[in-house]
Amino acid sequence: MRIVFIGPPGAGKGTQCRRLSAHYTIPHLSTGEMLRKASRDTPVGRVVGAYIDNGQLAPDPLVMRIVRKRLQRNDCRRGSLFDGFPRTVIQSELLDEHLSAMGQKVDIVLDLQVKEAELVERLLARAEVEGRDDDTAETIQRRLHVFRTQTAPVLDYYAGRGLIEQIDGQRTADEVFDEICDRIDTRLRNQEPG
C-alpha cells in the first residue's frame, strides 16, 4: 500500500504519519525530515538548509534523488507512507514513473484540511517547544503561500484517478487518526485481490 499524505504546514501530517506507520507497519517517508537531515549531514547541506529556512521548496531533482534512494531499501517493498511528498506536479509525475517501473502505484491520497488561522496557531505554539527554524510568523506565511500555489495542484493531478480522501484535520489527533484508518480500511476492503 502506497499512501500520499498532502496537507499544508501544521496540518498534522507528521503526527498522523507516525501513528499510521506503526499501525499499518509501513515506513514513514518524510521528505521534510530527510531534507533537514541532509542539511546537517551533507556537503550540499547549506543550500538545502537555505530553502527550508526560507520556506521555499527544495529543487525537484534533489528531492527525487533522496526519495528514489530511500525507496530502494527493503522495508519499502511492503509499501510506503509519503509525508509531504510529492509537493509539486513534477514530483508527482516523477514518482508515478518511478513506481510504475517497479510495478507499483499510489493507492490513496490523503488530503488533510485545516483552516489557515488554526495552522498558524499550531505552528507558533510548536515554535515555543521545538524551535524549528522555519516556524516564524514570516516563514509560516511563505510556506502557506507555497502550499497554495505549488502543492495544491498536486491534488488536481490525483483527483481524476479517484484516489483522494478528504480528511477534516480540525479535530483531535485521535479523531483524525480514526477517520483516516476507516478510509484506508474501506479502500483496502474494496481493492481487487492481488
Report the residue from 122, 154, 157, 158 that binds ligand AP5 according to the rule CB under 6 A. Answer: 122
Q: Contact region for ligand AP5 (CB under 6 A) — 27-35, 94-102, 153-161, 185-193?
A: 27-35
- The three cell numbers of residue 65 are 534523488
- Count of residues of this chain found to bind ligand AP5 when the rule CB under 6 A is applied: 29
Q: Stretches 4-12, 70-78, 100-108, 158-166: which one binds ligand AP5 (CB under 6 A)?
A: 4-12
138-147: long-range contacts, CB 8 A cutoff, minimum separation 24: 139/53, 139/54, 139/55, 140/9, 140/10, 140/55, 141/55, 142/54, 142/55, 142/56, 143/8, 143/9, 143/55, 144/8, 144/9, 144/116, 144/119, 144/120, 146/55, 146/56, 146/57, 147/8, 147/9
Q: Indicate whether 14 belongs to the interface with Mg ion (CB under 5 A).
A: yes
Window 40-59: contact mask with ligand AP5 (x via CB under 6 A)? -----------xx--xxxx-
Taking CB under 5 A as the criterion, which residues in 41-100 touch Mg ion? none
* Region near ligand AP5 per CB under 6 A, out of 6-14, 73-81, 98-106, 152-160: 6-14
C-alpha to C-alpha distance for 92 and 89, rounded to whole angstroms: 5
CB 7 within 8 A of CB 112: yes
* Residues identified as active-site: 13, 87, 126, 132, 143
Which spans of this chain sit near ligand AP5 (rule: CB under 6 A)? 7, 9-15, 31-32, 35, 51-52, 55-58, 63, 84-85, 87, 91, 122, 126, 134, 143, 172-173, 176
